[in-house]
Amino acid sequence: MAKTYDELPIMPISDTSSEGVKTGSWRTYMPVIDLKKCVKCNNCWKFCPDVAIYIGEEGFPHVNYDYCKGCGICANECPTKAINMTRGDSE
């Protein structure tokens, strides 16, 4: 498991969302992060294709539901299963 950005395998990474196009309304399922289970590995952030996850000041990931499409990749890549996909709208 990569612990830093520099240890990531070579892959495309975007650093911004489509600021003018909020796509969160497309979502059926939404990721909910249990920060008690989170180990701050940042896998969810690294693999989010919509750049909808950001890392907060304390190092924990947070979801920007304006851009999250609910694909579930973040939950799939979470090694501690701290992200659950729940049916419904954003918080």
CATH code (residue 48): 3.30.70.20
Residue whose structure tokens are 């892959």? 11
In a domain, 84, yes or no: yes
pTM of the predicted protein model: 0.75
Element (H, E) at 84: strand 83-87
In a domain, 2, yes or no: no
Model pLDDT, residue 90: 45
Domain that holds residue 59: 31-91
Q: Which residues make Cβ contacts (< 8 Å) with residue 66, sequence separation at least 6?
A: 22, 24, 52, 90
In a domain, 70, yes or no: yes
List per-residue pLDDT tens for the chain, 91 residues long: 555 666 666 665 555 555 667 877 878 999 999 999 999 999 999 999 888 999 999 999 999 999 999 999 999 999 999 999 999 764 4
The rounded distance, in Å, linking the Cα atoms of 23 and 59 is: 25
| Domain total in the chain | 1
In a domain, 56, yes or no: yes
